[in-house]
Amino acid sequence: MVPSKSIERLIAYRSLLKKRDHEGQEYIFSHQLGELSGHTAAQVRRDLMAVGYSGNSKNGYHIQDLLSFIKQLLEPTEGISVILSGVGNLGRAILSYFATLRPLFNIIAGFDVDPQKTDRVIHGCRIYSISDFSTITQQHPSIQLGILTVPAPEAQAAADLLISAGVCGLINFSPVRIKTPEHVYVEHMDMALTFEKVAFIAREKTKRSEL
């Protein structure tokens, strides 16, 4: 199994390689890709080893070939189907963001309890009432990802609903831990927590340098 940290870096490598490819560069060394991405050359080589890709000691890695290898690994052929629950300010911002992520991501539908927010199209995505959830999701056989942008008290119930639609991955923007069955992977993106963490570390750093 490829470590999740390696996956993160491979996604970053892909975007840097694209840039270099457009600039006409043909080959790249591990230390160059390391420099660009902010990791060591050893890290880069180890990541590529983890996914079974080889370069050569003369030129390093062939950029276009490595690019298509990483794409093959990361990008499913039919795109990633996503549903979103909670069409508040953050939910709407994410919907607008998904419009720019086509065709890799396909946002299927948004859901909300508030009748004011439902039965409209926001940034190209139709918003349904949560009461129509099963009707709508049954029309889409394989939805992979669920985005949770509901208030904290509704998060667990909303998550359960998304899981009932068959998602195997959840991104939870609410500040509560949600319980999920074994087969569902959850990533927590608690913004308030992150902001506070950064504030703390930055403050600690400043104090340290003042000594």
Is 4 one of the binding residues for its own copies (CB under 8 A)?
yes
Among the listed ranges 20-28, 46-54, 113-121, 144-152, the one in contact with its own copies (CB under 8 A) is 144-152
Q: Which of 30, 37, 103, 115 binds its own copies (CB under 8 A)?
A: 37
Do strands 27-28 and 61-62 pair parallel, antiparallel, or not at all (unpaired)?
antiparallel
Q: Which stretch binds its own copies (CB under 8 A): 20-28, 61-69, 109-117, 195-203?
A: 195-203
Instruction: Please report where in the chains the tokens 């909303």 appear, as a residue.
Output: 158
Alpha helices in the chain (DSSP H): 4-22, 30-37, 41-50, 63-74, 89-99, 133-138, 155-164, 191-210
d(CA 121, CA 45): 45
Three-state DSSP class for residue 89: helix
Q: Name the one range near its own copies by CB under 8 A: 46-54, 108-116, 157-165, 191-199.
A: 191-199
Alpha-carbon gap, residue 108 to 189, rounded angstroms? 21
Element (H, E) at 185: strand 185-188
Q: Closer to its own copies at the Cβ: 4 or 139? A: 4
Cα separation values, 90 from 61, 80, 129, 146, Å:
40, 21, 18, 14
In angstroms, give the least distance from the CB of 138 to its own copies. Answer: 19
Site map 10..39 versus DNA, x via CB under 7 A? -------------------xxx-------x
Instruction: Using CB under 8 A, pick the residue from 22, 24, 38, 115 that binds its own copies.
Output: 38
Q: Are 73 and 6 in contact (CB under 8 A)?
A: no
Site string for its own copies, 69-98 (x = CB under 8 A): -----x-x---x-x------xx-xxx-xx-
Chain residues binding its own copies by CB under 8 A are 1-2, 4, 7-8, 11-12, 15, 36-38, 74, 76, 80, 82, 89-90, 92-94, 96-97, 101, 104-105, 123, 144-145, 147, 167-171, 175-177, 183-185, 187, 189, 191-206, 208-209
